[in-house]
Structure 1
Amino acid sequence: MSNRSYEAITPRRVAFLGLGVMGHPMAGHLARAGHHVTVYNRTASKAEAWAEEYGGSAAPTPAAAAAGADIVLACVGNDADLRSVVLGETGAFKGMKRGAIFVDHTTASADVARELHGEALRLGLNFIDAPVSGGQAGAVNGLLTVMCGGDAEPFEAIQPVAMAFSKAVTRVGESGAGQLAKMVNQVCIAGVVQGLAEAIAFGQKAGLDMKQVLDVIGKGAAQSWQMDNRGKTMVDDQFEFGFAVDWMRKDLGLVLDEARHNGAKLPLTALVDQFYADVQAMGGRRWDTSSLIRRLK
């Protein structure tokens, strides 16, 4: 966990559902910022270990975690996981008090965001879709970028709370807009990483010292986050840096599904998605997304 400082705000009663590589440190930042945090995780031992580490409490169900909370945050795997922690007799909506706000940090579909937003309003609750960018390092260091969709008033209430683990928390539109913005983010990453992979592979075939070349071109128009943070590890054939190929394929599947509905043409994204399928077939399901270069060697 980083040693970041936290802006003083009124402590809130919050719940956090899902303590994976992202959720565990995100919930930790909320506790360190002074909020009263109750956590839930499908594997109960992880919730108990979190509570012991941070001094919060663990609950046996999402509904129990959400009981009495002003804000309930979640970061789980996909649409099905999200529905499982939100809906039903043990779901968060069952335990939330009227007027409470559910903030979903899962990268999920815009459709499920709109569905749960509608159900929340029916129950007198609020729902904000709020996927994040920045990966595991961003979560640990409290430097995530959060893209939010939903109603303005609840967004304004959750923004200062979410800043505990973020460098920016921005409302980009109505319900579902946060998920759509995250899709834009993933399209950009897919294209940049493929271009970087081809460039490095080309330079290596040409006999260049690619670490030196990356230092040079990284000071010019080719510079990118991916080049700065993944270029030299790609040269070294190292792919153990967080965001896994399996997760990227899930995200690109959401993008391509949405494009089929809205008519967007995404030829490069579809191609890179298939390149990631090749990486999976090579045994790289848990390699990070920069492993695209493995196809070219």
Structure 2
Amino acid sequence: MKVGFCGLGVMGSPMARHLASKSHEVVVYNRNTEKAKQWVDKNGGKFALTPREVGEQCDVVMVCVGNDDDVRSVVFGAPSAKSLSASSKSVENGLLAGLKPGTVLVDHTTASATLARELSAACSAKNVGFIDAPVSGGQAGAENGALTVMCGCDDQKVFDRVRPVFDAYAKACQRMGDAGAGQLTKMVNQICIAGVVSGLAEALNFAMRAGLDADQVVEVISKGAAQSWQMENRSKTMVRDQFDFGFAVEWMRKDLGICFDEAKNNGADLTMT
């Protein structure tokens, strides 16, 4: 299958690499063209100079960028938050302008459910399928091809058609409902992670201030009900005051901001978050 990938960051680059390793014909785009060239030199495939060129060549196109504004910039050629307006040329070069009827746009960005519904409607108007498909598992999950993909899609047949493609980099993938449901599920995921990480950090600080050996404490309590992925993968580095790796705090703050915005709409109490 001809698959496009827009966004070659810490998540997108390894995800696209897994697609290429599964014999898909991959076309990549990155705002930094040199980075796209380097990716192709290492992994094969082709690079495009604009998102539109990716859409014109592919059956399915994945987008994995930073936030709502970045997604709009790629898909619609819309201005970023730093610019005042989009030129007609940038709109013409947007991904949606190049997608053909029957193709599918997949957004792997963690973004708002509102944007997902907006993208779904815009794609539907062109007879293009759409799936919002945020992922969980972090950089390690992307590198190891072991991500969890949470999907929202208005058409089960569209999801079923693209589902096998996700297997290149996912250990689990499920359609959660219509457009936006994938992003809403990712919000639940981030709320859970934020709570567990905060609790773990406070607990380890308590242990150390109490004069306990934090490593021994973790070894014992990880055998009981307190055990979690965060404890298994983050406790040892927390104890050693090592935090400069993995998922950046600024991205978690961005994700939780999306959660708070959605909570205003549905009335959910996020006091602990």
Tell me the distance in 1 between the aligned counterparts of 2:246 and 2:131: 26
**SS, match of residue 202 in structure 1:** helix
Residue from 256, 261, 264 that aligns with 1:260: 264
5 Å-filtered alignment, 1:273-288, equals: none
Q: Which residue type is aligned with residue 190 of structure 2?
A: Q
Q: What percent of counterpart residues are identical?
A: 60
- Shift of residue 50, structure 1, vs aligned partner: 0.5
Tell me the distance in 2 between the aligned counterparts of 1:246 and 1:106: 15
5 Å-filtered alignment, 1:155-170, equals: 155-170=159-174
Partner of 2:43: 54
Kept after mapping to 2: 8 A contact 1:204/1:210: yes
5 Å-filtered alignment, 1:1-297, equals: 12-87=1-76, 88-150=91-153, 151-269=155-273
Please list every run of at least 4 consecutive aligned residues from structure 1 whose deviation after the TM superposition is greater than 6 angstroms: none
**SS, match of residue 267 in structure 1:** coil
**SS, match of residue 14 in structure 1:** strand
Q: Which residue type is aligned with residue 108 of structure 2?
A: H
**SS, match of residue 176 in structure 2:** strand
Q: Which residue type is aligned with residue 53 of structure 1?
A: K
RMSD of aligned alpha carbons: 0.6
Cα deviation, 1:154-187, whole Å, max 9, x if unaligned, reads: 1111111011001011101110000000000000
Give the TM-score, by structure 2 length: 0.94
Cα deviation, 1:254-282, whole Å, max 9, x if unaligned, reads: 0000000111111011xxxxxxxxxxxxx
Tell me the distance in 1 between the aligned counterparts of 2:57 and 2:26: 11
More deviation, 109-118/236-245: 236-245
Q: Which residue type is aligned with residue 95 of structure 1?
A: G
| Structure 2 unaligned blocks of 5 or more | 77-90
Cα deviation, 1:60-84, whole Å, max 9, x if unaligned, reads: 0001012131100010011111011
Tell me the distance in 2 between the aligned counterparts of 1:196 and 1:22: 25
Q: Which residue type is aligned with residue 253 of structure 1?
A: G
Cα deviation, 1:47-99, whole Å, max 9, x if unaligned, reads: 00011111110000001012131100010011111011111211111111111
Give the TM-score, by structure 1 length: 0.86
Cα deviation, 1:82-135, whole Å, max 9, x if unaligned, reads: 011111211111111111000000000000000010010001101100000000
Q: Figure out how many residues of one structure are paired with residues of the other and give that number.
A: 258
Tell me the distance in 2 between the aligned counterparts of 1:153 and 1:222: 41
Kept after mapping to 2: 8 A contact 1:14/1:66: no
Kept after mapping to 2: 8 A contact 1:75/1:106: yes
Tell me the distance in 1 between the aligned counterparts of 2:228 and 2:28: 36
